[in-house]
Structure 1
Amino acid sequence: MTHSAPPRRPLAASPIQFAILTLLAGMTTAQAQVQEPAPAAAPAPAPAAKDANAIQEIIVTATKRATPLQRTPVAITALNANALADNHVQTIQDVVNLVPGFQATSEGDHGVITMTLRGIGNDSAKTEYADPEVASFVDGIYSPRPEGATSLLFDLDAIEVLRGPQGTLWGRNSSVGAVNMQTAKPVLGDSSGNVEMGAGSYSRLGARGAVNVPLSDTAAMRIAFVHEQHDGYVDFQKLPVPSVASQQAAYLASGGTLASFQPINPNLFVTDGPKYGAQNQSALRLSLLWQPTAQLKWNLAYENFADRGTLSMNLLQNQRPGQDKWSALIDTAPSLTRDTNSFRSRLEYSLNDAAMLTYIAGYSRFSGASTFDADGGANVPTSFATGATYQANNTVSSHYVNYSHELELQSVGKRAVDWQLGLYYGAEKNSMRFDIPIFNGTQQGTVVWQGSFIQPKETVASTALFGQSTWNVSDSLHLTGGLRYTSDKRTNVGGNGYTWNYDASVPQVPLSPNIDPTKPGQGYNPSVPSNDGEFTGHKTTGLARIGYDIDRNNMVYASLSTGYKSGGLQDGGRPYGAETLTNYEIGSKSTLMGGALKINNALYYSKFKDFQFSSPVTNPDGSHSLATSNAEGATVYGFESEIAAKLSKDDKLQASLAWTHAVLGTLRGAGSNDYSLPACAIPGISTCLDVTGNTMPHSPKFSLQLMYQHTVHLNDEATLTPRISTHYETSSWLSVFNLGDGDKQAAYTRTDLGLRYSKKNWWIDAFVRNAGNGNVKTSASNGGNVWLAQYLPPRTFGINTGFDF
């Protein structure tokens, strides 16, 4: 495991000094992992660079109109298709190192990725219970559930990460930021395509490609596909079976009798089959463009995503002697089934030379199921009912349907006032069954607790009206104001938890899909009260911003913006309150040295009110539930900088850094079954901790990303490009509890290497990810008094080859 020593204090402080000096010098604002470009969903290509050493301009859509990145007064990281390919980006977790202040957390039992930006996120935003603070969009259409963010990222024009509240234009659950993925669109009159294949470690195989087909003078189609698979990272440990005499002694010492004793069945422990951490994902996208006139343009897309891989595994932080770090004693075989079908539509109509009307619609249907070894093999059983705990977290079924409609009317062209108005409606319908059996020792043992959470109908409806305008006072001075009014409604109909009632007449067997806990005589009682309930809320959020172009190469801005995340319902039908944020920000953007150097910086201060904290808890009556409470705020401030430089026509250097200070406000009753906590004096929770003033999780004080590549011209047609990318960050907590080394990721450095050979339209690319094979924790738990963690993947390597046609 490769970790760097924690930095000295002067190093941690230097980003602030650098921020102030840079801003005063009028340099730039936090905004762009400026990979070499390709416009991000722009209607027209970016202008070509004037000189070989100049970095081409990137076009972004952060203001819902195509604008040059260096002229957009928003903190944005824009990654184009080339940058995504160079960094072998497949999921959002692959993006985080490329964006300052961005973190992603893997969550094993649901197999999803939750996002943190500028020190704020919600690790429980992995089910229908909790919404994220960082919203995900595909082609401007909101993706409500985290499974969408873990889908394969393929055939993209760009990814834009917007930092800071985006509550006016982007809306839902973007209180600290938004991620917009722009898919590649069909092009009229173009016959072209690309194909790529690859192989690598852990029996990795991959293929992807796309083809653009002109259908007529006014229509075109694009077909894109991807498949990625590799074996799991986690090996199976063999159960060290104690002697029968030893098992009997342990069982009798626990109060058992010889009459009820049975030897451990080693066949209950998994030793072969699919391993945890495997990938087996496929996706297909069919896109259509119809443009019958210069005024009318319609983009349609259908996308299917299928996941048959396995979930990530909780691993012992301190492995047992003689066992490999990436191994576990597994008593629940992994399984995962996910299917998503999505439709997206964007219809644009130019009313006249002054205004355009756009209708954006989306529909998505998801279904899934999974099994997960929640105990992580933390302990070795001493008998069939002692020494360890068996726990499985099984999603028996999960279904959701979501759709949205957005109508936008905006000005076009260069005008004294740029304006836009919009109406939005989004809705979700969720249903699920989630089982948790917990037994003493093994599955043969006695019940500790088991229950099923069944939500047949949970709905969300969100309606919004928004508007934003920019008064171009002069060619240099720009004043922007915006407002959004949002109304939310959530309902839970028929939802309940069903808990084992310890009826001695019912056999003690682990809860499974074959058992219907809602039926009498199965050994389960419904929770009282049920989860039925309704929540309504509304909020007005806004933006005020001033931008000033110092000259054609330098601009500064200052903004005041607010964000909002709806309240909702938790188990028992209890409501929790909305979360709001006020963000103050100043920034600058500069293009220097004839375009060969770009520097973007931002300095921000964010004040939260009623920050939502969600976690699974045990209630005083022994039942389990997911609880959400509102902390009395949180304070976050920091600095971000991104630098892109073309040292010569063949040398590129990129750097991004973030300095973050994120502290929770008052929260005295934070509980979680994932952690061993003291008895709680707060009514309604068995164990909890006062976390007032603790550092927010996933918010390292300082992080730095460096990338350098050099192109060697072998001849007039062929090039060889080595590439190195290194990420460093200081230590960070993995939960709000701040419980010591087990709950912390130490400072670390992680390096990726690449070597690309290109000749005409053909290329071959070799890569090594996590070259130092470091173990980097993304989440942790010690609910059974043994520290477990989820980790980023170990060292992997591979080779890809492809060609364009």
Structure 2
Amino acid sequence: MKLRYSALYIAMSLVLAPGVVLAADQDAAPQGASSQNTPSQGGPSQGGPSQGVASPADKKVKQLDAISVSATKRETPLQKTPVAVSAITPDTLDKERVMTVQDLTKLVPGLQGTSEGDHGVVTLTLRGIGNDSAKTEYADPEVATFVDGVYAPRAEAASGLLLDMDGVEVLRGPQGTLWGRNSTAGAISFQTAKPEIGAGFYGNAQVEAGNYNQIGARAAFNLPISDTFAMRVAVVHEQHDGYVDYQNPSSELPSVAQQQQAYLASGGSLANFKAIDPSQYVQGGQKYNSQDQSAARVSALWQPSDSFKWNLSYEYFVDRGTPDLSLMQTPRQGQDFWSALIDTAPYLDRTSKTLRSRMDWNINDGMQLSYIAGYNRYSGKSDFDQDVGVAVPTSFTTGGVYQDDRTNYSNYESWSQEVDLKSTGPQTVDWIVGAYYGYEDNNIRFDIPIMNGTRYGSVNWQGSFIQPKETVESYALFGQATWHITDHWRLTGGARWSHDDKENKGGINWGWDYNPAVPQVPISPGVTPDPSNGFSISQRNSAKYSKSKPTWLLRLDTDVGANGLLYASVSTGYKSGGTQDAGTLYKPETLTNYEIGSKFTFLDGHMTWNSAIYYEDFKNFQLSAPIVYPDGNHGLGFSNVGGSTKVLGIESELAYQQKDDRFNLIFSAIPKKELGTLIYAGSNDYQGLPACPPASNLANCMNVTGNDLPHAPNVSLTGIYEHDFHLSNGGRLTPRISAQYQSTQWLSYFNLGSGDQQKAYTRGDLSLRYTEPGDKWWVNAYVQNVSDDKIRTSAGRFLMSDGSLQYVSQYLAPRTYGVQLGVWF
């Protein structure tokens, strides 16, 4: 909380401080870093007019072909980089109000984000490939995340990555050669803003306010220390009230007489009857789907000579908001859509501390050595109403369940080191070789009390999953070379050898033993499960996994005239296998990607058009889900899909910038996304599946062979347009419209009908920004989700006591609006 108010105080002080020299506009981005997706208005001054630095109006990026990216681990022009990559600037992150990784989805072809409530995380799908359950100490994501070149293994920390960004690159397709394991579908590379030596003191600040009591503040400034040393400090806080209101239990619960009747019908006696206490339902306090996040980063740059520099940063992120709740797709009569009957108060407490370091030595004019290292410690606790108030109990122990998904603690530590040696300057062969080492040490306790009726009813089932030590150790050697065959033809080859060791030490799943002699009460965080309180060991999870895997790349590219590029590539990706409940091992998944791409520049650099056609062939594709075993115990199960999982897609990005107009079109089509062979697929999120044979080791399941992959609409299209109107006083008024269309998409591998789909939709955002004549400050009014559409990002279903099925979903935010004020100084 102290950090939150400190962030607000600093930002407000910077905005209101008298005598500050204001020099540039927040809606500008540094030259050379503008976006393929949304070209920038211009670049911020770094010292103010008094220091003779060009104003933003003088530094406008007029040519989109000046954009550079680091997709190949060296700075190259985007239009000359034969990789499917989307580059997004700070300007775009600001104007599109990108607060989390999920907010990037409309800016990247084929990228989808799914909220997962019980852990408060976002899981990503790219080109139809993702993993909705990549949110525990076991699962790894298919889309790898890097910050300043440091791999971030925990999805839980992803929302803390968007503070004071210098840019975001999304690399689509397998990146196993240069970027490593767990990048089978792609990789997201975040670049933080770095200190600048010799640039003087400068910075920016911003405050905002909106509906749902939304307030935000952020600030960043460069600190010149000496001719060889500089620092940068950035802080941010964002918060808003929850979107989900609490329903009044008095209007939902049956009368006492009706409760007695239901209890007697179940075999109970009036002597043991208890009336449902309405006070057990949550009526106040924090609501679900709220935000309360703060972060701070201190960065340092030491450059004692032209041949050596060292970037070092420490980042602190806290999240005290609440998880996102699944809502009934069809609310009960008389209830608002954004409301629920809640018996578990929301709680989320996450802290992430990260240290990142990068050293670069220019050994000579043709060679550079880099050392990249990072350390992260993440810890989190949460409480989540897993029954989401779907079934109203008929008595204190009948007609529905009470289920609290509770993370008592989760602690993740990770270290990584990478050494790269690469060529620099003009070479006949551009090359890079490197070595990587990463280590994780994780532990978690996760409790699931499930009670019949209410929390005071009898135990339906409950368990405690205690994993005291889960380790991951990863090694890799890699190399890649590009041979300039002629001035216009290039051949690239690369390979990587990866080795992974994973071990679960002492992990135990405790399940309910149904001993009638013990009290029928939900397990508490301070209680250690054992036979004396009704638990027995359902599974011992100690196990070791060890495997090596090579990945490789072969690519040919050629210039088409002075303003075109064509490339064709074959590449492979790899996501490691591992251990799971009961000490069972699951296999690694592999991918072969065939891709043809083009990049063209038109109108003297004012328009670019980049496209790719790809075909992906997966083997042993990993699916994970919470499941119920035949003996009634619960766990997390992994399945390797047999045969080939196949995806065929087309992507295209068009960007136009001419004087006062900026336009973008982002297109993705995935006509084929077919799951391989999986006869026994189960998930607790989908109740009412058919009973499974004992050989499946599942209580309920269904055959999903050949089904469509979820989160992969046939067509997705985003359009963004803005225009500068020059006012008589010299200021600018810039309206901006951003709209996204997506065709119907499945929300799970089960393909169960309309409740398991998000139908086709169009979602639009509007903003109007005024920039004062001297580019000193700006004010912006915005509306997001203008039509207030209810857009599902996930689905699940409950089996009701009458045999009916009730679908629930996570949803994108309702309509939000607000005003922002920013300054450059």
* Alignment counterpart, residue 769 of structure 1, candidates 784, 802, 817: 784
When structure 1 is superposed on structure 2, of 50-59 and 662-671 the one drifting more is 50-59
Aligned counterpart, 1:13 = none
Give the Cα–Cα distance (whole angstroms) in 1 for the partners of residues 567 and 38 of structure 2: 19
* Alignment counterpart, residue 33 of structure 1, candidates 34, 37, 50: 37
When structure 1 is superposed on structure 2, of 254-263 and 130-139 the one drifting more is 254-263
Query: What amino acid is aligned across from residue 116 of structure 1 in structure 2?
Result: T
What per-residue deviation string (whole Å, max 9, x for no partner) do you get for residues 583-626 of structure 1? 00001000001112110000000100000010111111111111
Is the CA contact 1:38–1:157 (under 8 Å) kept in the aligned structure 2? no
- Give the superposition deviation at 1:38: 7.9
Is the CA contact 1:277–1:313 (under 8 Å) kept in the aligned structure 2? yes
SS of the residue corresponding to residue 675 of structure 2 reads: strand
SS of the residue corresponding to residue 252 of structure 1 reads: helix
- Give the superposition deviation at 1:715: 3.5
Q: TM-score, normalised by structure 2?
A: 0.91
Give the Cα–Cα distance (whole angstroms) in 2 for the partners of residues 795 and 133 of structure 1: 31
Give the Cα–Cα distance (whole angstroms) in 2 for the partners of residues 616 and 95 of structure 1: 27
Q: Give yes or no for the alignment of 1:210 onto 2:230.
A: no
When structure 1 is superposed on structure 2, of 776-785 and 414-423 the one drifting more is 776-785
Give the Cα–Cα distance (whole angstroms) in 2 for the partners of residues 152 and 293 of structure 1: 30
Matches within 5 A, 1:302-451: 302-451=314-463
Q: Give yes or no for the alignment of 1:573 onto 2:586.
A: no
* Alignment counterpart, residue 722 of structure 1, candidates 731, 735, 747: 735
Query: What amino acid is aligned across from residue 265 of structure 1 in structure 2?
Result: D
- Give the superposition deviation at 1:552: 2.0
Is the CA contact 1:479–1:545 (under 8 Å) kept in the aligned structure 2? yes
* Alignment counterpart, residue 676 of structure 2, candidates 665, 668, 676: 665
Aligned counterpart, 1:709 = 722
* Alignment counterpart, residue 111 of structure 2, candidates 89, 102, 107: 102
Matches within 5 A, 1:181-260: 181-190=190-199, 191-239=201-249, 240-260=252-272
Aligned residue pair count: 766
- Give the superposition deviation at 1:254: 1.2
Aligned counterpart, 1:736 = 749
What per-residue deviation string (whole Å, max 9, x for no partner) do you get for residues 778-799 of structure 1? 0111143321100000000011
What per-residue deviation string (whole Å, max 9, x for no partner) do you get for residues 668-727 of structure 1? 011111112101124311111100000000000000000111100113631000000000
Aligned counterpart, 2:533 = 522
Is the CA contact 1:37–1:57 (under 8 Å) kept in the aligned structure 2? no
* Alignment counterpart, residue 594 of structure 2, candidates 580, 584, 593: 584
After TM superposition, which residue ranges in structure 1, 4 or more long, deviate above 6 angstroms? 48-52
Is the CA contact 2:295–2:317 (under 8 Å) kept in the aligned structure 1? yes
Give the Cα–Cα distance (whole angstroms) in 2 for the partners of residues 52 and 512 of structure 1: 59
Is the CA contact 2:411–2:443 (under 8 Å) kept in the aligned structure 1? yes
- Give the superposition deviation at 1:516: 1.1
- Give the superposition deviation at 1:316: 0.3
- Give the superposition deviation at 1:570: 0.6
Give the Cα–Cα distance (whole angstroms) in 2 for the partners of residues 120 and 241 of structure 1: 43
Is the CA contact 1:37–1:56 (under 8 Å) kept in the aligned structure 2? no
Q: Give yes or no for the alignment of 1:142 onto 2:162.
A: no
Is the CA contact 1:37–1:79 (under 8 Å) kept in the aligned structure 2? no
Query: What amino acid is aligned across from residue 266 of structure 2 in structure 1?
Result: S
Q: TM-score, normalised by structure 1?
A: 0.94
Matches within 5 A, 1:587-626: 587-626=597-636
- Give the superposition deviation at 1:172: 2.5
Q: Give yes or no for the alignment of 1:753 onto 2:773.
A: no
Is the CA contact 2:39–2:662 (under 8 Å) kept in the aligned structure 1? no
Give the Cα–Cα distance (whole angstroms) in 1 for the partners of residues 749 and 698 of structure 2: 17
- Give the superposition deviation at 1:36: 2.5
- Give the superposition deviation at 1:550: 1.3
TM-aligned CA distance change 1:38 to 1:493, over 3 Å: farther
Q: Give yes or no for the alignment of 1:263 onto 2:275.
A: yes
Query: What amino acid is aligned across from residue 99 of structure 2 in structure 1?
Result: Q
TM-aligned CA distance change 1:271 to 1:110, over 3 Å: same
Is the CA contact 1:673–1:783 (under 8 Å) kept in the aligned structure 2? no
Aligned counterpart, 1:8 = none
TM-aligned CA distance change 1:49 to 1:743, over 3 Å: farther
- Give the superposition deviation at 1:451: 0.4
Aligned counterpart, 2:813 = 793
TM-aligned CA distance change 1:718 to 1:297, over 3 Å: same
- Give the superposition deviation at 1:301: 0.2
Is the CA contact 2:157–2:378 (under 8 Å) kept in the aligned structure 1? no
Q: Give yes or no for the alignment of 1:464 onto 2:476.
A: yes
Is the CA contact 2:244–2:287 (under 8 Å) kept in the aligned structure 1? yes
TM-aligned CA distance change 1:709 to 1:51, over 3 Å: closer
Give the Cα–Cα distance (whole angstroms) in 2 for the partners of residues 520 and 511 of structure 1: 13
Give the Cα–Cα distance (whole angstroms) in 2 for the partners of residues 421 and 498 of structure 1: 47
Give the Cα–Cα distance (whole angstroms) in 1 for the partners of residues 526 and 59 of structure 2: 68
When structure 1 is superposed on structure 2, of 256-265 and 391-400 the one drifting more is 256-265
Is the CA contact 1:37–1:80 (under 8 Å) kept in the aligned structure 2? no
Q: Give yes or no for the alignment of 1:480 onto 2:495.
A: no
Give the Cα–Cα distance (whole angstroms) in 2 for the partners of residues 79 and 329 of structure 1: 40
What per-residue deviation string (whole Å, max 9, x for no partner) do you get for residues 432-477 of structure 1? 0000011111001111100000000000011000000000111211
Is the CA contact 2:42–2:61 (under 8 Å) kept in the aligned structure 1? no
Query: What amino acid is aligned across from residue 770 of structure 1 in structure 2?
Result: N
What per-residue deviation string (whole Å, max 9, x for no partner) do you get for residues 171-214 of structure 1? 02001100001000000012100010000010001000101001
Give the Cα–Cα distance (whole angstroms) in 2 for the partners of residues 786 and 35 of structure 1: 45
Give the Cα–Cα distance (whole angstroms) in 1 for the partners of residues 798 and 501 of structure 2: 34
Q: Give yes or no for the alignment of 1:630 onto 2:640.
A: yes
Give the Cα–Cα distance (whole angstroms) in 1 for the partners of residues 164 and 487 of structure 2: 37
- Give the superposition deviation at 1:381: 1.1
RMSD: 1.6
Matches within 5 A, 1:52-71: 54-55=63-64, 57-71=66-80
- Give the superposition deviation at 1:57: 2.0
Aligned counterpart, 2:7 = none
Give the Cα–Cα distance (whole angstroms) in 2 for the partners of residues 695 and 32 of structure 1: 30
Give the Cα–Cα distance (whole angstroms) in 1 for the partners of residues 59 and 346 of structure 2: 55
Aligned counterpart, 2:306 = 294
Aligned counterpart, 1:697 = 710
Give the Cα–Cα distance (whole angstroms) in 1 for the partners of residues 585 and 404 of structure 2: 28
Is the CA contact 2:147–2:189 (under 8 Å) kept in the aligned structure 1? yes
- Give the superposition deviation at 1:121: 0.2
Give the Cα–Cα distance (whole angstroms) in 2 for the partners of residues 296 and 426 of structure 1: 25
